[in-house]
Amino acid sequence: MYSSKISGLGYYVPENVVTNNDLTQWMDTSDEWIQERTGIKERRWIDPKTGDTTSSMGAKAATIAIERAGLTNNDIDFIIFATLSPDMYFPGGGVRVQDLLGMPTIGALDIRNQCSGFIYSLSVADQFIKTGMYKNILVIGSENHSGGLERSTRGRGVTVIFGDGAGAAVLSRSEEKGKGILSSHLHSEGKHAKELALEGPATGRWVDAIMKDNDPDDVSYYPYMNGQFVFKHAVVRFSEAIMEGLEANKLKKEDIDMLIPHQANLRIAQFIQKKFQLSDDKVYNNIQKYGNTTAASVIIALTEAWEKGKINDGDLVVLAAFGSGFTWGSVVIKW
Ligand code: ACO
């Protein structure tokens, strides 16, 4: 059996910076409230004039990752695209990337697992590589949140948290033993689906029903989050997923060289850091600059940490995420 290693990383975020103060033009909020609760100072939101979309941002990140892997678009055997904010209801973002990058007619799979989308995608890609089916898989996480957020005081509990952006990794076949992806663990608990969800338009609540009701209080087509409920589950599930990954590889928390937690809330990441007694240089956070970019968050943070020289050959890197579904998981990598 082969193993799989990350051979290229890239990310792309829109140029348009939206600070906490900028948000006050639409809603009753403050820099102080947002920073204290979440750690976020600013986020990137697509300027519609640029034409950026979920899939075009994904394609831009992918181009960087493919080049850094020393490959061309023709070397990619399969695309996995994670998002909760696709350009269209269907088809998904993977086929759009295949077209935008002028790739041959390779397979393209979309993953709908929100904040843990990139963890799920990496795990799926890992299985395809290990069995020998594919050699190089492009794994993308991308979100255009700003296109679907409610810019008003009513929506502030959710809107201030989310940002746009994309990240991509090329996962490649390797024959080096004990390196690359060591394990992945995936979980879900669907009974909490409605605690963090966007219900319509979808077949459970289609456009005609929304229009027929014409209810000014209907917010079913905006994301809903029961923040404190999600927070309480997140801190527990993050810890479990990290422990599960370590134990499966007979490793201890002291073995972690770099933890990349999904950037949901800086307070969650700090709680996990304390729990695992990790020094500041062993946890990478960038939510301060980008907000929560959902499926893109782990891969943008991983790429930035790597670009800054914080991840080196032989390091033990742990990726972990929790989010809507609920879904959560971890990936343990020997770099
Ligand atoms: N500005 C000012 N006041 C606000 C804002 C805002 N942006 N948002 C809410 N408030 C107010 C509320 O109206 C409320 O006022 P009240 O007490 O008068 O009713 C008060 O602040 C407290 O609101 P809470 O929602 O209880 O605030 P909380 O402390 O829970 O913080 C937050 C909210 C930041 C969302 C937090 O709960 C959180 O981070 N939760 C976890 C998020 C997460 O992990 N998500 C998973 C990933 S996302 C995904 O999968 C898509």
Which two structure tokens, joined as six digits, stand for 65? 């990752």
Does residue 292's CB lie within 6 angstroms of at least one atom of ligand 1? yes
Distance CA 159, CA 236 (A): 24
DSSP assignment string, 164-186: -EEEEEEEEEE--TT-EEEEEEE
Question: What is the CATH number assigned to the segment(s) 3-174?
Answer: 3.40.47.10
Does residue 231's CB lie within 6 angstroms of at least one atom of ligand 1? yes
Q: Which residue has the CA at smallest separation from atom 14 of ligand 1?
A: 157
| Residues 290, 262 contacting (CB under 8 angstroms) | no
At position 98, the amino acid (one-letter code) is Q
145 carries an active-site annotation: no
Q: How far is CA 229 from the centre of its chain?
A: 20
Distance CA 170, CA 62 (A): 8
Distance CA 38, CA 114 (A): 19
Tens-digit pLDDT string for the chain (335 aa): 899 999 999 999 999 999 999 999 999 999 999 999 999 999 999 999 999 999 999 999 999 999 999 999 999 999 999 999 999 999 999 999 999 999 999 999 999 999 999 999 999 999 999 999 999 999 999 999 999 999 999 999 999 999 999 999 999 999 998 999 999 999 999 999 999 999 988 998 899 988 888 898 989 999 999 999 999 999 999 999 999 999 999 999 999 999 999 999 999 999 999 999 999 999 999 999 999 999 999 999 999 999 999 999 999 999 999 999 999 999 999 99
Across the chain, the runs of DSSP E, i.e. the strands, are 3-12, 17-19, 42-44, 78-82, 107-111, 136-143, 165-174, 180-188, 196-197, 224-225, 258-261, 316-323, 327-334
Question: What pLDDT is stored for residue 200 in this prediction?
Answer: 87
Q: Do domains 3-174 and 180-334 have the same CATH topology?
A: yes
292 carries an active-site annotation: yes
- Closest atom of ligand 1 to 156 CA is 7
Distance 157 CA to ligand 1 centre (A): 5
Does residue 227's CB lie within 6 angstroms of at least one atom of ligand 1? yes
Q: Tell whether omega for the bond before 271 is within 30 degrees of 0, i.e. cis.
A: no
Q: Considering only CA atoms, which of 146, 143, 145, 140 is closest in space to residue 167?
A: 140
Distance 67 CA to ligand 1 centre (A): 40
Does residue 234's CB lie within 6 angstroms of at least one atom of ligand 1? yes
| Residues 93, 87 contacting (CB under 8 angstroms) | yes
Distance 169 CA to ligand 1 centre (A): 32
43: Cβ–Cβ under 8 A, 6 or more apart, which residues?
Answer: 17, 18, 162, 163, 164, 289, 290, 291
115 carries an active-site annotation: yes
Q: Which residue has the CA at smallest separation from atom 50 of ligand 1?
A: 323
Which two structure tokens, joined as six digits, stand for 29? 């909020």
Which two structure tokens, joined as six digits, stand for 122? 């990496």
CATH of 180-334, one of 3.40.1190.20, 3.40.47.10, 2.60.40.1180, 1.10.3720.10: 3.40.47.10
Q: Which residue has the CA at smallest separation from atom 8 of ligand 1?
A: 157
Does residue 33's CB lie within 6 angstroms of at least one atom of ligand 1? yes
Q: Residue 171: left if φ>0, alpha if ψ -120 to 50, beta else—which one?
A: beta
Domain edges within the chain: 3-174, 180-334
> Given CA atoms 3, 12, 113, 317 in this order, what sign does their dihedral have?
positive
Distance CA 325, CA 190 (A): 5
